[in-house]
Chains A and B, each alone.
Chain A
Amino acid sequence: MNHPAERAAAPHASPLTPHAPALRVRIWRGGADGAYQTFEVPRLESQTVLDVVTYVQRMLDPTLAYRFACRVGMCGSCAMTVNGRAMWTCRTHVAKVAADGELEIGPLNNLPVVRDLVTDMAPFFDKWARAQGQFKGDTTRKDDFARVEPSTPERQRVDAGIECIGCGVCYASCDVVTWNPDYLGPAALNRAWTLVNDVRDRAQSARLAAVAGDAGCHACHTHMTCSERCPKGIEPTAGIAGLKRRVLGAALKGEL
């Protein structure tokens, strides 16, 4: 990036000045049997894919449905399929995904399409519940704080997976979810893995039973697309491998 003073003197100085040529953007319209509609959107400096979608809705077609909230990569609301890959749109710069000036933006795969770019996330989060993704302790507010050393292996395994924002990118990218709709998917299993390693949790047997078998961690083929595409750099595949080992241990001991 140039010095601000140099930028101000340059012909295309303002970040609001459109670069030529404009972006050619194909956006999914309608439900599952909808179709792509093409829009021309001005190319701007430091433009994100979410900026593009917002421009279309505010300037070209106010009926376009899409979902976002924080715009800074924290809420997990704005994930879409961009040029064939699921990604968060608020922190994806157009420059990184539209080298030839073309964008194809669709709803996330593996989830029911409500309308346009909005998917129904209920099946995704229902699977978190099915994977026993809730913390279940046995202390009350009258008890002292639990002390968990940051250096312990359990806590470090929790740290590796705890920053999930529930965006659904991994779930939409997982071939096994496509082939096996009952499969819990990477995010729910990653959540279960963080709780399996939570030394305060008291529902471990039920959780291991919930994530076992054909619809659980053992269905994972270790394609690692979830780990490749997670915008937070989490590796659900590693957690799923950990769950496979834990569940096998429980099965061999007759605890499953």
Chain B
Amino acid sequence: MKARMQVLLWAAQRASAVVLAALVFVHLAVIIYAVRNGLTAGEILGRTRGSVAWAMFYGLFVTAVAIHAPIGLRAVLAEWADWRTPGRDRALVLFGLLLFARGLRAVWAVTYA
């Protein structure tokens, strides 16, 4: 992989971390607010079902995770497992796509299912 691509991956991981920091903050704040009267699936679904805003919120969350996690794992695999081949990068692209697909399916499930 060329150095420019490595630098852009580094930047993408930092940028996705910034997005995640804000989204996780909102996510935690909502959890604290939501459990004040006990936590039920019905209450959660009542908030998310049909809500385009929550779908966009968690859609962005899933997108940021799908970018952030594979790039971080790329460094972990290089440094701790000594796996630095192009095969590692291909495996991580698949892993990122899996996170993205499974995440969006979960968002769809709590919004429209």
Chain A contacts for B10, CB-based, 8 A: 218, 244, 248
A248 and B84 alpha carbons, distance in the complex (Å): 22
A176 and B10 alpha carbons, distance in the complex (Å): 16
Chain A contacts for B8, CB-based, 8 A: 251
Classify the secondary structure of B's interface with A.
Answer: helix
- A to B contact number (C-beta, < 8 Å): 36
Interface size bracket, A side:
10 to 19
B2 nearest CB neighbor, chain A only: A213
Which A residues from 186 to 232 make CB contacts under 8 A with B?
209, 212-214, 216, 218-219
B8 nearest CB neighbor, chain A only: A251
A154 and B105 alpha carbons, distance in the complex (Å): 51
Interface size of B in residues (CB-CB distance below 8 Å): 13
Q: A145 in the interface, Cβ–Cβ < 8 Å?
A: no
A209 and B75 alpha carbons, distance in the complex (Å): 20
- Inter-subunit contact A256/B79 (CB<8 Å): no
Instruction: Say how far B3's CB is from chain A's closest CB, in angstroms.
Output: 4
Instruction: Say how far B48's CB is from chain A's closest CB, in angstroms.
Output: 37
- Inter-subunit contact A179/B79 (CB<8 Å): yes
A180 and B71 alpha carbons, distance in the complex (Å): 16
Q: A53 in the interface, Cβ–Cβ < 8 Å?
A: no
Chain B contacts for A214, CB-based, 8 A: 1, 6, 78, 84
Chain A contacts for B79, CB-based, 8 A: 176, 179-180
Interface residues of A (CB under 8 A from B): 176, 179-180, 209, 212-214, 216, 218-219, 244, 247-248, 251-252, 256
- Inter-subunit contact A213/B80 (CB<8 Å): no
A75 and B80 alpha carbons, distance in the complex (Å): 35
Which B residues from 72 to 94 make CB contacts under 8 A with A?
75, 78-80, 84
Chain A contacts for B75, CB-based, 8 A: 219
Give 1 or 0 for each of B1-26: 1 = CB within 8 Å of chain A CB. 10110111011000000000000000
Chain B contacts for A179, CB-based, 8 A: 78-80
Instruction: Say how far B85's CB is from chain A's closest CB, in angstroms.
Output: 12
A244 nearest CB neighbor, chain B only: B10
Q: Which of A176, A180, A218 contacts B6 (CB 8 A)?
A: A218
- Inter-subunit contact A216/B3 (CB<8 Å): yes
Instruction: Say how far B94's CB is from chain A's closest CB, in angstroms.
Output: 20
Name the residue among A180, A213, A216 with the largest chain B CB count within 10 angstroms: A213
A214 and B5 alpha carbons, distance in the complex (Å): 10
Instruction: Say how far A205's CB is from chain B's closest CB, in angstroms.
Output: 12
A244 and B3 alpha carbons, distance in the complex (Å): 12
- Inter-subunit contact A256/B3 (CB<8 Å): yes
A256 and B3 alpha carbons, distance in the complex (Å): 8
From known contacts A244-B10, A248-B11, A251-B8, infer whether A212 and B78 are also in contact, taking CB-CB under 8 Å: no
